[in-house]
Amino acid sequence: MALLQIAEPGLSTAPHQHRLAVGIDLGTTNSLVATVRSGSATCLPDESGRTLLPSVVHYSEAGTVVGHAAQAEQSRDPHNTIVSVKRFMGRGLTDLPDASALPYRFVDAPGMLQLSTRSGVKSPVEVSADILRTLKERAEQSLGGELTGAVITVPAYFDDAQRQATKDAARVAGLNVLRLLNEPTAAAIAYGLDNGSEGVYVVYDLGGGTFDVSILKLSRGVFEVLSTSGDSALGGDDFDQRIFCWILSESRLSALGAHDTRLLLTRAREAKEALTEHTETRITAILSDGESIDLILDQATFHEISQTLIDKTLLPVRKALRDAKIGVDEVKGVVMVGGATRMPQVQKAVGALFGQPPLTNLDPDKVVALGAAMQADVLAGNKGNDDWLLLDVIPLSLGLETMGGLVEKVIPRNSTIPTARAQEFTTFKDGQSAMAIHVLQGERELVADCRSLARFVLHGIPPMVAGAARIRVTFQVDADGLLSVTAREQSSGVEASIEVKPSYGLSDDEISRMLTESLSNVQGDIEARKLREAIVDAQSLTEATRSALANDGDLLDASERTAIDAALAAVDLATQGDSTRIVNDAAAALSRLTDPFAERRMNRNIQRALKGHNISEL
């Protein structure tokens, strides 16, 4: 079975011509670039032989430095040394609950937040572009030529704003993006191809700033993502923060300046890494006021203060298993991805959940980049005969707002991408000549509980009676997980469309809320939807009744008119309440009262139609 879309348009390769393509893992803590050489994926080192590039950028009057040199400036110049910028991608200042604790000078610009540095105001896109540019230069020096393109990995739970920000950063860095690839899927490619694996696998990806879990089925070269879940605001940085808080508590420290905060966070990260191999570690530091820190942290204490974080990762794992309808006994292996999975307590917790030790035979820091390199090699057209197929999924459902503030899902979550689906909608009012299209993402039944992605208006709908127009709305999700929506009125052919590039600055809390609340509020959502649907139907009935009264009210005597007016008032009152039964009962009563009126109107309309015609004409 050949890989779909084996080469991007214009990139089909000539015989014997190898195109230079790379895979890039743009990580929260470290980033890597990899390529395929002689049929084998390998990470490319810098001039000192180091494959890991710290995702740190330092800005000064003298210029910009990235990586190890920038990392050395973290404690000395924290205001101008940007670390973990991945957590800011596609986010606004209001989305950062701990912004005041960070050493940066934030600028609350419209859309995505910005950071004020000595080199000027920088957006997270620009900071990420500096990291990507450094990796691009490393690759071109190692490979001896210009890159054709790159596959860049993103957390599976990155939303559209975060994915678009990543793509923008790559373009600023001068990279041709062949594909955005979900990190767990990239890891599965690396494991599946290197080890010839088949069966159901769980990819547990705990990086520096994000957590993802994907359930994949590998069978005869087909990589099918069955489900995905995660938390886009949980990672190794949070474990550093727990150690940092422990240091403050043990040393009885209160408010710290930016310099001391960054210094102790660096020491916390070093302690976390040391406890991976040792049972205890010493934490020493001299603060700016001369006070010294000298503490011993052992593994048991670290496990205790970080246990809630580990438990927090297991909730999405269980959710993904339920979505995939897979039991833990059906899982053949658990792939560990991300440097944070080196922590013994993480491996122990995952092993206990699945009843088997997790797979760690590939370097968890490198596995994502290696898988991305394999995908890039295929997309560049270098390996057209490879017998494997990649089937990824979207993490959250996509749909539209309908009358009553309800969400109509068009593409359900965990649908394989790329995909396209269409659904027909109609008008609510007589003579309606335009329709507002509101695109939403989420699992809840009401618009207020889902995320707004985009809005546009379809104009030029021919005036018709309510319900007669046919508006076909088509959703298309590309291989990068980005969405475009088209609305077309079928009889006239008028059309409007939008590429969904949502405004930056969406809340991190919402993405985890969407799935957890979709489960905990299932019954409430169903009842709320029934109420909204009942209200919409009742309002449609009252509007039609009032229109009929205006045109043919003379067909009723005074007592009948009074009864219908009273029934209309009862329906209006019922729709202001929160009882589905009362709304349905009031609407049913109105419908029964107006049945004789409807018959008289039908007879009148037939008489009007027949007036002036004889039998032979008919």
For 445-480, the pLDDT digits (tens) are: 788 777 777 788 888 888 888 888 888 888 888 766
In whole angstroms, give the CA distance from residue 231 to residue 617: 72
Stretch among 48-57, 233-242, 266-275, 491-500 having the lowest mean pLDDT: 491-500
pLDDT at 388: 55
Helix ranges (H only) for 73-122 are none
**Do residues 425 and 400 lie in contact, with contact meaning Cβ atoms separated by under 8 Å?**
yes
Active-site residues: which are they?
25, 86, 183, 205
pLDDT at 63: 82
In whole angstroms, give the CA distance from residue 467 to residue 573: 25
Give yes or no: residues 474 and 530 share one domain: no
254 part of a folded domain: no
In whole angstroms, give the CA distance from residue 145 to residue 134: 15
Q: Read off the tokens for 473.
A: 């709305």
The CATH number assigned to the domain holding 592 equals 1.20.1270.10
580-614 as b/e: b if 16+ CB within 10 A: bebbbebbebbeebbeebeeeeeeeeeeeeeeeee
pLDDT band at 128 (very low <50, low <70, confident <90, very high): very high
Tally Cβ neighbours within 10 Å of residue 359: 22
Note down the domain range covering 368. 21-236+304-393
For 134-145, the pLDDT digits (tens) are: 999 999 999 988
pLDDT at 420: 81
Give yes or no: residues 388 and 347 share one domain: yes
pLDDT at 183: 85
pLDDT band at 578 (very low <50, low <70, confident <90, very high): confident
Radius of gyration of the chain (CA): 30
- Please report, for residues 264, 341, 346, 597, the alpha-carbon distance to residue 298 in angstroms, rounded to integers and kept in the order given: 17, 18, 16, 84
* Total domains, the chain: 3
What are the residues facing 376 on neighbouring strands?
none
Q: What is the rounded average pLDDT of the residues 273-281? A: 92
The CATH number assigned to the domain holding 381 equals 3.30.420.40
Rounded mean pLDDT of the chain?
82
In whole angstroms, give the CA distance from residue 559 to residue 597: 13
pLDDT band at 522 (very low <50, low <70, confident <90, very high): low
Q: Per mean pLDDT, which of 299-308, 426-435, 448-457, 466-475 is the most reliable?
A: 299-308
pLDDT at 150: 95
Q: Read off the tokens for 556.
A: 């009723």
Q: What is the rounded average pLDDT of the residues 487-502? A: 75
**Do residues 201 and 331 lie in contact, with contact meaning Cβ atoms separated by under 8 Å?**
yes
Tally Cβ neighbours within 10 Å of residue 514: 21
pLDDT at 194: 47
Give yes or no: residues 412 and 379 share one domain: no
352 part of a folded domain: yes
pLDDT at 391 over 80: no
pLDDT at 9: 45
pLDDT at 613: 64
In whole angstroms, give the CA distance from residue 419 to residue 464: 32
Q: What is the rounded average pLDDT of the residues 123-143? A: 93
The pTM of this model reads: 0.62
pLDDT at 496 over 70: yes
Domain boundary, last residue among 393, 410, 433: 393
Give yes or no: residues 403 and 510 share one domain: yes
- Please report, for residues 157, 218, 277, 449, 554, the alpha-carbon distance to residue 586 in angstroms, rounded to integers and kept in the order given: 45, 55, 71, 28, 24
pLDDT at 510 over 60: no
For 179-198, the pLDDT digits (tens) are: 899 888 888 888 765 455 67
Nearest CA-CA partner of 396 in 516, 536, 252, 246: 516
Return the DSSP state at 502.
P
Measured at the alpha carbon of residue 448, what is the angle toward residues 445 and 452, in degrees to the nearest 5? Answer: 100
**Do residues 470 and 487 lie in contact, with contact meaning Cβ atoms separated by under 8 Å?**
no
**222 CB-contact burial (10 Å; exposed 0-12 / middle 13-18 / buried 19+):** middle
Share of the chain above pLDDT 70, in %: 86
Nearest CA-CA partner of 194 in 340, 366, 7: 366
293 part of a folded domain: no
Nearest CA-CA partner of 146 in 37, 22, 31: 22
Nearest CA-CA partner of 212 in 244, 235, 179, 238: 235
Q: Read off the tokens for 5.
A: 């879309």
Task: Look at residue 323 and give its three-state secondary structure.
Answer: helix
Give yes or no: residues 402 and 361 share one domain: no
pLDDT at 430 over 70: yes
Give yes or no: residues 576 and 498 share one domain: no
Give yes or no: residues 82 and 197 share one domain: yes
Element (H or E) spanning 267, and its range? helix 258-274
218 part of a folded domain: yes
Give yes or no: residues 527 and 507 share one domain: no
Return the DSSP state at 493.
-
pLDDT at 523: 64
Q: Which residue has the higher pLDDT, 421 or 219?
A: 421
**Do residues 309 and 239 lie in contact, with contact meaning Cβ atoms separated by under 8 Å?**
yes
pLDDT at 300: 93
Give yes or no: residues 464 and 347 share one domain: no
Q: Which residue has the higher pLDDT, 135 or 74?
A: 135
Strands 389-393 and 222-231: parallel
pLDDT band at 502 (very low <50, low <70, confident <90, very high): very low
pLDDT at 153 over 90: yes
299 part of a folded domain: no
Helix, strand, coil: what percent of the chain each, to 5?
40, 25, 30
Interacting residues of 591 by C-beta distance below 8 A, sequence separation 6+: 541
pLDDT band at 66 (very low <50, low <70, confident <90, very high): very high
pLDDT at 349: 95
149 part of a folded domain: yes
Domain boundary, last residue among 520, 540, 557: 520
In whole angstroms, give the CA distance from residue 390 to residue 379: 12
1 part of a folded domain: no
Q: Per mean pLDDT, which of 40-54, 253-267, 470-484, 489-503 is the most reliable?
A: 40-54
Give yes or no: residues 503 and 537 share one domain: no
Q: What is the rounded average pLDDT of the residues 522-531? A: 68
For 397-409, the pLDDT digits (tens) are: 888 888 878 888 8
pLDDT at 204 over 90: yes
pLDDT at 53 over 50: yes
Give yes or no: residues 458 and 595 share one domain: no
pLDDT at 98 over 80: no
In whole angstroms, give the CA distance from residue 317 to residue 570: 50
Measured at the alpha carbon of residue 308, what is the angle toward residues 209 and 271, in degrees to the nearest 5? Answer: 60
Strands 21-25 and 149-154: parallel
In whole angstroms, give the CA distance from residue 202 to residue 66: 34
pLDDT at 573 over 60: yes
For 7-51, the pLDDT digits (tens) are: 444 444 444 456 899 999 999 889 999 999 887 889 999 999 999
217 part of a folded domain: yes
Residue 352 CA, chain-centre distance (Å), reads 29
Domain boundary, last residue among 495, 520, 545: 520
The CATH number assigned to the domain holding 459 equals 2.60.34.10
Stretch among 87-96, 309-318, 465-474 having the lowest mean pLDDT: 87-96
For 537-569, the pLDDT digits (tens) are: 888 888 888 888 888 888 888 888 888 889 889
Give yes or no: residues 514 and 528 share one domain: no
In whole angstroms, give the CA distance from residue 531 to residue 136: 55
Dihedral in degrees, nearest 10, Cα atoms 395, 230, 225, 472: 0
